Amino acid sequence: MDEKIIRLSEENNNASLTQALSSLKNQKVIDLLDARAVEGRGNPVPYLQAIFKGSPTNTKSGLERRTVVFKRAIEILNDGDLSSKIATDIVGFLMMELEAFPGKTLSELADMFVNAIKSGSLRNSKSLELFPKVLSAVSVKDSVPMTGDCGGEMAGQEYKRHLLNTLCSSRWDPQCAIHLAAIFRDIPMTPDELRFVIEKIIRAMKDLEIQELPPLVYQLLLLSTKGHKQLVLEGVTSFFSKLDKTCDLEGTDDSSEVETISKEQLRHMEGTVILHVTFAVKQDQELGKEFVKYLKTCQTTPGSILTPFNIALGLSIAQIHRFEETIFEFLKSAVLRSFKDEERRKQSKWVRGTKITGCFKSLFGLMFFSSIISLFI
């Protein structure tokens, strides 16, 4: 039957094609798609093209058939059993057909993606390439019916914002984080929406395996071209500075924590991240300016900026002539200020006369010296 449907489509016999499809129940149409896509009995793309060609959107049955088949195609893509070429062809075809759907169908498709991301059921990220197109198509609708028990309607832009909020308020499967960060670049967003998304991606960093952190940072840097460069830099440097501190604590004799990452692994991974950031600064010097601004905001607390990662990143960006003098001046100033603060603490009678002198020495002295020494280990 699927061969007949394809033949009618190729012959442009639309009347007979529509009649043939109308004689089949939707489940049979799905079964024929599964036979080609899942069981490997043929290329599913010509069959999909024939179904959509013979299912006009101005009829209830045609729209229903399109919707059912589109959803099943997404599920097949999510299962990840297709060859890369077939999956790419399916995504390319479905992308061209999205705009013909009404707001109700688009909202159902969008919710389908959000639920798959929340549940971690995406075994293959290929279908996620459709998500930006779904959100873009939703956003231009005058009104979109709410799915589920909510009821009511929303303007397209408002519904898109609702979906982004729902997605960023949910826990992501760590395997999806990098792919999600990549697709957000293709989604039109307001500055507030973009900030919300960037903050979510930064929070997701703590759930990733160490080897997945550099590619996620790379996607964050690409996303920063849309805005909020300083937020990205603050998030990345803060995360790795905390990771440095955690690694140092785990290496101490009195630490009760089990070592989860060696210092060698950490330095290797941080080196890759620094290469990504430095390359991004070379491509977009506005990012370098934001890094300098970030350093200046930390001038009053040199201890918080003088971490192995921040110093190494600063020295790396300083190799770019435009930022060399500014960054070296800042590092020199931060080092001198740290020395002066330590000297004042040593001379303080109150500090020397209390039992917490050792704590101050540990906190303020080692914070600086261990950072400098660790940079060259």
pLDDT digits (tens, 9 = 90+) for 38-93: 777 778 889 899 999 998 888 899 999 999 999 999 888 887 677 888 888 899 99
Q: What is the 3-state secondary structure (H, E, C) of 310-348?
A: HHHHHHHHCCCHHHHHHHHHHHHHHHHHHHHHHHHHHHC
Confidence of residue 113 (pLDDT cuts 50, 70, 90): confident
| DSSP letter string, 341-362 | HHHHHHH-HHHHTSTTHHHHII
Catalogue the E-assigned strands of 128-227.
Answer: 144-145, 153-154
3-state secondary structure of 153: strand
pLDDT in tens, 250-279: 555 444 443 467 778 888 899 999 999 999
pLDDT for 300 equals 59
Residue 144 in 3-state DSSP?
strand
Neighbours of 241 (CB within 10 A): 18
Question: Is the Cα torsion angle 28, 30, 33, 39 positive or negative in sign?
Answer: negative
Encoding tokens for residue 108?
A: 């159902």
Q: Provide the pLDDT for residue 124.
A: 66
User: What is the per-residue pLDDT for 266?
Assistant: 85
DSSP state at residue 146: P
Give me the percent of the chain exceeding a pLDDT of 70. 81
The whole-number average pLDDT for the span 157-162 is 89
pTM score, whole prediction? 0.77
Residue 80 has a pLDDT of 67
Tokens linked to 225: 């071209």
